[in-house]
């Protein structure tokens, strides 16, 4: 199955930037990562969509991050990125990358990486 390894989380000041990376590997990754996504979950809240990207580069974003975050991918490196700009304290959450189209049907999840934005 697909394995996802994330990096890039940490502590940042409001207005700053962070860049998350998620690298996929595994025997079936070539068919399992047609769509990759970033999701986040704050304490006591449901996991929510941040951004999705297809293998062709088509992207969608959650309303709360539109205009601030950019999702991209390097298919040759099997890596998906999330460039987070103009960070806000409400962006504080554990960020997960996922291989699949929806939360309910996700094929694989990364381990999650903490993003904390101070006011």
Binned at pLDDT 50, 70 and 90, residue 29 comes out as low
What is the distance between the alpha carbons of residues 87 and 95, in angstroms, rounded to a whole number? 14
Bridge partners (DSSP) of residue 6 are 22
Q: pLDDT tens digit string along 40-68? A: 999 999 999 999 999 888 999 999 999 99
Q: Residue 33 pLDDT > 70, yes or no?
A: no
- Considering only CA atoms, which of 40, 37, 46 is closest in space to residue 114? 40
- Considering only CA atoms, which of 1, 2, 6 is closest in space to residue 110? 6
- Considering only CA atoms, which of 46, 58, 54, 60 is closest in space to residue 104? 46
pLDDT at 67: 97
What is the distance between the alpha carbons of residues 82 and 71, in angstroms, rounded to a whole number? 5
């Amino acid at each position: 199955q697909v394995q996802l390894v994330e990096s890039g989380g940490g502590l940042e000041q409001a207005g700053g930037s962070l860049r998350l990376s998620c690298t996929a590997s595994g025997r079936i990754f070539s068919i399992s990562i047609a769509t990759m996504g970033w999701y986040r979950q704050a304490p006591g809240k449901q996991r929510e969509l941040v951004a999705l990207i297809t293998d062709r580069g088509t992207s969608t974003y959650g309303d709360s991050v539109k205009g601030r975050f950019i999702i991209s991918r390097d298919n040759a490196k099997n890596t998906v990125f999330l460039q987070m700009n103009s960070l806000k304290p409400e962006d504080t959450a554990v960020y997960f990358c996922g291989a699949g189209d929806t939360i309910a049907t996700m094929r694989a999840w990364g381990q999650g990486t903490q993003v904390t934005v101070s006011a």
